[in-house]
Structure 1
């Protein structure tokens, strides 16, 4: 008993030392500290990595156990939130980042009913996973602090409705506690007939208390987003924040994968004569389309050259090989025409002319949202910018040799109709790499979805390199010995 009492005293001291005493939050109090513009954006981006992966899981109809595993993995990478017992961790800093990221994303996703719906669904799922992962003490302390609109049913009322409560919860014993809430607070339990209803009240057993908490979280967030939307016009006057919020609101459409865009992620060097074979075996549809159009027309317009050229650069094509590749591809031009019209831009993209910047390859989000293609353009994302009929024809034409069939098209097109374009691309990757032991739901490893064309190509090339050596390929394309 003395040890137990001492442990409780230590836990109280641990809680009292924290500015943010609870790991779980209803996000009913916005952060009040001063933060830099960089931190404003970073906190939101890190959280968006997690939320976009949750949305991808829903688009792929993953079971909840898989969704939970993937979400926890993403949280550990981007928004870790340790338990109160982890006294060696910077728990206050973690919770401050968590709360800041949430409120910044509220500003980004309150702009339309559709964005609000998707944000609420992803945030409620994240909260649910964290709640289920919390200790009994954390849940209890959180519920005590949350000002939930429920009343604990006393013993006399339990006795009065004992038969009805027993009928609703047949396996409940005499010690089961009940909470009385408005029936509209637990529509899921009412639908499943797992509560006793009386005069507009639902009698919820303690084992189902989480349903009340989840519904309360969702309801409060929906109301908060509507209030934020009304206040947003005043925020639009701040020219520093508007571009950040506009960019964040696109995160659900293409996921978050910008770290794949720099030349630090290049694989082995490739030569100009290798590109055609690589395109047919390893390129995502956007780059395969550009390559096929370049072969057919011996030319690409500006945005097509930019999108494809930066992709090849990060893939490992050196400036010398790039000049050789583009000169060979533009076979209808004389050397003089090529040098005057195109050589400078190729060198510029490698940082050898003009500003001499190391330009990154374009991510899925940039391809989807920027520089929209016209009727005669080849750049963009086929999953978004092709008509349904043209997309299906192109998929079969490009990927039938790798195992994609007409039977796979309905599933892919359902993802496209749901605007989960990068998820559709990931499914194509799984289908075309099934012979290399990539199963449905694996993504590019650990269930991760594709968010960058170079991510697709590198993972595909790594699988081929690993096949003969009996090694395992990680989600980032790295090869490790099994």
Structure 2
């Protein structure tokens, strides 16, 4: 192994010869991200790499909000990592191992730029990244983990045999039941006790004159604390330098969008083939039945208001219209639906004041842009619209009433409300919406913690509706395939 200078003081990339992969710029899956990336990237790669990592960090935060166990967290995070940011071992026959680690490296630093700008963002980023590091540390191969540890100076002092024998009683006291052979084979390292506060708190280490004697089995605590401290310092330093980017009109909007998404607990924009035109088109007369069975609360509320008042304000029409467009309502069917819904308005007024806007939202008028439907992140962002996310905007009393009114026929009970409201109270609005989906689709095979299936959380109203409709179709097909029993 040798070091290759990047041209910046103390900023080095390690290059290693690894079987099956030749020379690797990033020889380890584990990384402290010491040096900033000095390679060129496109604006698209800059943003997409960060969005992929945001999926994983958002899932980690969501798991904490849902009180998932460590094993459950490992499972759901592994799924997200495999899908969005795979990171193979050195012995894996991955074709682009260096490319995977390059994307991991880049995505970390992009999010570091986005999340360094406030104390709240920094704390949340450090917590999520440290958790991700712990998960990777546990899943790393023993020899590759050892290689990583040997590549860094953790400033720990190995305890020699004489000192270990001198304090044998104190060193062994936290670990009852160990055999004599195990006690003799155990290695210890000395560090300042402030570097392992978790072990001191749990009385897992012997402390003498400010030094904590850490057994090799607890060595990871030193590594995790070092990673956390290192990242905190790096974020504070980045925060001091970030004003230099204020004049960059390309990067600042991207960073703002990423940080808002993280604060709202949303990983990214939901995309689907429906954005380009849904092959499963729906008719105007189907909308009402679909709304009562498959729509999330935000769209269900807009639909109910439209049916009650025969009208919606501009932002409500825009939000609901784009949702129906992506769901599969053609422009012709949209005109039929809105004309029927606005039954109190004369034909001339409808054609002059509303028909143009409907066609415009489909890209058939004006600048002919293909407008996407509003995402959960956009609905959670305060703005001029009064038709945002009900979980955020409604009072607790009104929200509970709305939930029971909308979903009691689908299995939601008043006894379920305290759990949902606990997520709302902690500002995890997307988790509350996801939990409602689970409760109202339990008969479709969705269990608690599974989200939309595959542990995906709701990040877009159309995602909610599309998954609900798909589950209903699967259930219908299963019923058709079941053999008829004749008695």
TM-score higher than 0.5: yes
Q: What does the per-residue CA deviation read over 1:22-58, in whole Å, with 9 as the maximum and x for residues that have no partner?
A: 2210111111112222221121111111111111111
Q: Quick check: 1:267–1:315 contact (8 Å CA) kept in 2?
A: no
Shift of 1:12: 5.3
Work out which of the residue numbers 49, 54, 78 in structure 1 matches 2:55.
49
Structure 1 273/15 Cα, relative in aligned 2: closer, same or farther at 3 Å? closer
Q: Quick check: 2:88–2:94 contact (8 Å CA) kept in 1?
A: no
Structure 1 372/195 Cα, relative in aligned 2: closer, same or farther at 3 Å? farther
Q: Quick check: 2:51–2:267 contact (8 Å CA) kept in 1?
A: no
Q: Distance in 2 between matches of 1:96 and 1:293?
A: 50
SS where residue 259 of structure 1 aligns? coil
Structure 1 331/105 Cα, relative in aligned 2: closer, same or farther at 3 Å? same
Aligned to 2:194: 184
1:6-17 superposed matches below 5 A: 17=23
Aligned to 1:458: 466
Work out which of the residue numbers 414, 432, 442 in structure 1 matches 2:440.
432
Work out which of the residue numbers 217, 237, 241 in structure 1 matches 2:251.
241
TM-score normalised over the length of structure 2: 0.90
Structure 1 401/136 Cα, relative in aligned 2: closer, same or farther at 3 Å? same
Paired residues in the alignment total: 458
Q: What does the per-residue CA deviation read over 1:249-274, in whole Å, with 9 as the maximum and x for residues that have no partner?
A: 02221332421485347362211111
TM-score normalised over the length of structure 1: 0.91
SS where residue 180 of structure 1 aligns? strand
1:157-176 superposed matches below 5 A: 157-170=163-176, 171=178, 172-176=182-186
Shift of 1:365: 0.9
Structure 1 137/223 Cα, relative in aligned 2: closer, same or farther at 3 Å? same
1:93 is aligned to 2:93? no
Structure 2 residue runs of 5 or longer lacking an equivalent are: 1-15, 480-487
Q: CA RMSD in A?
A: 1.8
When structure 1 is superposed on structure 2, of 255-264 and 81-90 the one drifting more is 255-264
Q: Distance in 2 between matches of 1:202 and 1:54?
A: 30
Shift of 1:187: 1.5
Q: What does the per-residue CA deviation read over 1:419-439, in whole Å, with 9 as the maximum and x for residues that have no partner?
A: 211111000011111222321
Aligned to 1:307: 319
1:137 is aligned to 2:149? no
1:26 is aligned to 2:32? yes
Q: Quick check: 1:169–1:195 contact (8 Å CA) kept in 2?
A: no
SS where residue 24 of structure 2 aligns? coil
Q: Distance in 2 between matches of 1:261 and 1:469?
A: 22
Q: Quick check: 2:274–2:328 contact (8 Å CA) kept in 1?
A: no
Shift of 1:11: 6.7
Work out which of the residue numbers 76, 89, 96 in structure 2 matches 1:83.
89
Q: Distance in 2 between matches of 1:399 and 1:468?
A: 21
Structure 1 257/62 Cα, relative in aligned 2: closer, same or farther at 3 Å? farther
Work out which of the residue numbers 286, 291, 312 in structure 2 matches 1:274.
286
Aligned to 1:128: 134
Shift of 1:314: 1.1
Work out which of the residue numbers 335, 342, 346 in structure 2 matches 1:330.
342
Q: Distance in 2 between matches of 1:122 and 1:220?
A: 14
Shift of 1:89: 2.2
Structure 1 84/352 Cα, relative in aligned 2: closer, same or farther at 3 Å? same
Q: Distance in 2 between matches of 1:114 and 1:283?
A: 33
Work out which of the residue numbers 290, 295, 303 in structure 2 matches 1:291.
303
Q: Distance in 2 between matches of 1:13 and 1:469?
A: 49
Structure 1 279/13 Cα, relative in aligned 2: closer, same or farther at 3 Å? closer
Q: Distance in 2 between matches of 1:91 and 1:181?
A: 35
Q: What does the per-residue CA deviation read over 1:118-173, in whole Å, with 9 as the maximum and x for residues that have no partner?
A: 11111111111111110111111111122212111111111111111111223242
Aligned to 2:230: 220
Shift of 1:397: 1.6
Aligned to 2:383: 371
